[in-house]
Structure 1
């Protein structure tokens, strides 16, 4: 099986979601199914159909999360010995060489990626361009709008 890279924080978020699904959502769905069954004929019962669909979604998500967590390779950036190199879970400060705009991104697992929080997936074009580079290096990223160049200002492990 292929391991799934996750930050320590990302793994904790998945565990919390799994706990929520198992302890609360399952109970809500079971109660909804029981309520719908009490209304009689199930063949034309929209509430029953909706509750069964929700049950399928919840059980599917539980299986997905358990699978991801069982194959997870949890990486704590604080314990990395990367000596200034961009690696998974590191935070990278960049400067766009075209317009001088400065941005910071943390390279995270696919499930953790959230551009609004400046977290980019390890499989994204910018992360692939940055991995293995050092502060001071200039990287070219193949963005949807065309190639862009960034200078790596700093690499942090938080």
Structure 2
């Protein structure tokens, strides 16, 4: 039997995925089906770009639904009560400063299913998170990123 990949996430992250799934199933899926029906009325399907576009969108939506269902089914919830602030773990919010004179940055390390760097949520699989995991406040860490190596000092772990 093949073991499915587990997706570590917070309870809030799982809820957000469930909301997205519900919206895709109840709203987006119906909108796409309606677009396909309308596009069929335009005539010859072999030369109908509206129909092709709607079918591509339908394929994307169905793929996303399948992915979300898998992530939700295999979610492993990170409990806030288990967060350890002695060293960086999944679920912690970490503030660090890039050396020698960079700005402070703060990120929460989450599972890949709920990562959103724009919102300060980075995947535990990202280079920065991998460099920080297991380290303590005050540690100076060298991190290999796609943009090159960077050194940071961990200022705070919450």
For Structure 1 versus Structure 2, the TM-score category normalised by the shorter chain is 0.7 to 0.9
Q: Which moved more, 1:56-65 or 1:145-154?
A: 145-154
Structure 1 pair 62–144 and aligned structure 2 pair: CA distance change class (3 A): closer
Structure 1 pair 136–32 and aligned structure 2 pair: CA distance change class (3 A): same
1:71-105 deviation per Cα after TM superposition (whole angstroms, max 9, x unaligned): 111213x2214242211011011122311522111
Structure 1 pair 48–116 and aligned structure 2 pair: CA distance change class (3 A): closer
Cα distance in 1 for partners of 2:114, 2:144 equals: 22
Map of 1:142 onto structure 2: 144
TM-score, scaled relative to structure 2: 0.86
TM-score, scaled relative to structure 1: 0.86
Map of 1:21 onto structure 2: 24
Q: Report whether the alignment pairs 1:69 with 2:72.
A: yes
Q: Does the CA-based 8 Å contact 1:137-1:151 persist in structure 2?
A: yes
The 5-angstrom pairing of residues 54-65 of structure 1 reads: 54-65=57-68
Structure 1 residues not aligned, in runs of 5+: none
Q: Report the count of equivalent residues.
A: 155
What is the RMSD of the two structures over their aligned residues, measured on CA atoms? 1.9
Cα distance in 2 for partners of 1:60, 1:144 equals: 29
Structure 2 residues not aligned, in runs of 5+: none
Q: Does the CA-based 8 Å contact 2:6-2:74 persist in structure 1?
A: yes
